[in-house]
Chain A
Amino acid sequence: MRGRGGLLGAYAALVYLFLYAPIAILVVFSFNRARQTAVWEGGTTEWYRSLAKNDLILAALKNSLIVGGVATLIATVLGTLVALALGRHTFRGEGFTRQLLYLPVIIPEIVLGAALVTFFGALAFRLSLLTVVIAHVVFCVSYVAIVVRARLAGFDRSLEEAALDLGARPAQTFFRVTLPLLAPGIVAGALLSFTISIDDYVITSFVAGVGSTTLPLQIYSMLKVGVTPEVNAVSTLILAVTVVLIAVAQRLQRRPAEREETS
């Protein structure tokens, strides 16, 4: 066992290296003084400082935060409600709802983007931050619903029964028991939704209008012109933020039962 484990372990280490080396290189070179070459010429935070003065990037960042925030808020409310419907009720159209939620995740992004831009065009809807928010809500609802639904599935029904048994009415049970226990799932869903929203390029590129450029769109247009250290710097910042968000979401998604197992 030992020998095989060692060999497999070394192999797994290589896979991790493959996953992380490109990202690590990006991060390291965001501190490189050289503007053009891939040669290390000493450390600097110059590119980060120049980011802070780059109005285009700042404007795009602001747009991304607005879109991510608003879309996440709406998607979290919708997604949580529909997850409750699926996890706690039997109703007409349940199967349809399930499929409806998986479709936006499954359909190629490019198709969704094309469909939305055609739709907005047909309605003579001006492309703006609003159309971007709408597009993001469409694909974020599913992620929130899936995460919250998973949390509900691991939820001990008898806790709600116990609350009813102790005299709490259904609404009181929801606010004193269901919601607090569901909260980590909802927050995790919201964090993931936010992460996806601020990362999205393909769909946004279709539905963004003049003045509603988001950060990925801005980065993309910079890439098309040429690789610059500022792109490395802004990429590093985005990576840092997503890693933190993901770590928090992961921690929250762990069910309380898993923590109890040791006791």
Chain B
Amino acid sequence: MRRDRAGVLLALPTWATLGVFFLLPLAILFVVSFARRDTYGGLKPIGDLGAYLASGKFLEHYARSLHPIYLKIFWRSLWMAVVTTLVCLVVSFPAAYYIAVVARARRRPLLLGLVVVPFWTSFLIRTYAWMFILRTEGLVNHALLAAGLVHRPLELLYNDFAVLIGLIYGELPFMILPLYASLEKLDRSLLEASADLGAPRAATLRRVTVPMTMPGIVAGIVLVFVPSLGQFIVSDLLGGAKTILAGNLIQNQFAIARNKPFGAAVAFELTAAVLLLLWAYARYTRRRGEDVLL
């Protein structure tokens, strides 16, 4: 195949659209993260750019984000994303293994479809479902009261636990699907060969199945970890004001606090973290030569 102009022509509309409405906005946001804000949430003009840069004031918002209050929020975002990812991995692997390897081939499309549906259905509504279940007048409290296990409704909502449940519930399909994709490609005769060579089941799992499906495992980790880190809806609805994550912090700066430069700085810190992770992932896939995710 030779280079041709048709390719450029076909890609041009997308380049233009994403260039103007995606890359340019990101660039502007980046610049704003170094700007000064005025009292009303707008930007304050900078008179002498040289002096402004020399004063180091342009890093003010990044410096502010290192304040313990915010570090605590970042730390919470991080550990919640880690816990969500780990729980999703542990819960998903046997299920994905069942769908891909154990279940009858004829039933596989249905089992897979049942994972795909929540994958695409409204995250908001799926989060709301937990709000409905966990709230003070919700199903769980009602059952507990009826069973006489508690005398007053428990405060199940608006805490870290509720947020974790929501995150795990929301992200689970994003772990099962890449695991399935990897397990489905696994040559079953490898498992048989391992057994034939005398490996007990646990050893086959550890020495054959897991290494062979590593690309799917890594892809699943990325697919779950990245959105968890930037999560906003779950923490807002199930965590209330108590469990604030990085996503809520950004949103607050734009919607309530009206401190766009600070919001932009935090947004870029989050983006940097995500891109770093994806860069590591890209390196990993290049080394492995296979890519389940992209």
Residues of chain A having any CB pair with chain B under 8 Å: 4-5, 8-9, 11-12, 15-16, 18-20, 22-23, 25-26, 29, 36-39, 77-79, 81-82, 84-86, 88-94, 97, 100-104, 106-112, 114-119, 122, 134-135, 137-138, 141, 145, 192, 195-196, 199, 201-202, 205-206, 216, 219-220, 223, 227, 231-232, 235, 238-239, 242-243, 246-247, 250
Contact = CB atoms under 8 A, between A and B. Distances in A.
A141 B15 CA distance: 11
B15 A100 contact: yes
A84 B251 CA distance: 37
A111 to B, nearest CB: 5
Contacts of A39: 142
Contacts of A119: 21, 24-25, 28-29
A239 B128 CA distance: 12
Given A29-B132, A223-B237, A118 B32 contact: yes
B137 interface: yes
25 contacts: A9-B98, A23-B118, A25-B132, A25-B139, A36-B137, A37-B142, A38-B142, A78-B14, A81-B13, A82-B14, A85-B9, A89-B1, A89-B6, A90-B2, A91-B8, A101-B14, A109-B232, A111-B29, A111-B270, A114-B29, A115-B29, A118-B25, A201-B124, A235-B122, A242-B122
Given A78-B17, A90-B3, 15 more contacts: A18-B172, A19-B118, A19-B173, A23-B129, A25-B132, A37-B137, A82-B14, A86-B7, A89-B1, A89-B10, A91-B8, A111-B271, A118-B260, A235-B122, A246-B121
Interface stretch (B64-72, B109-117, B207-215): B109-117
Given A8-B102, A9-B103, A216-B122, A223 B24 contact: no
A86 B5 CA distance: 12
Given A11-B94, A206-B254, A219-B128, A192 B120 contact: yes
Nearest to A77: B13
Given A18-B172, A115-B29, A38 B138 contact: yes
A18 B132 contact: no
A18 B14 contact: no
B131 to A, nearest CB: 7
- Interface SS of chain A: helix, strand, loop or mixed? helix
Contact of A106 (B9, B126, B278): B278
A118 B28 contact: yes
Contact of A243 (B11, B103, B121): B121
A46 B256 CA distance: 37
Given A5-B102, A91-B4, A118-B25, A199 B122 contact: yes
B51 interface: no
Given A12-B94, A23-B126, A122-B28, A82 B117 contact: no
B122 A115 contact: no
Contacts of A18: 169, 172
Contacts of B14: 78-79, 81-82, 97, 100-101, 141, 145
Nearest to A10: B98
Contacts of A36: 137
Contacts of B94: 8, 11-12
Contacts of B131: 223, 227
A114 B116 contact: no
B58 interface: no
Contacts of A77: 13
Interface in B267-282: 267-268, 270-271, 274-275, 278
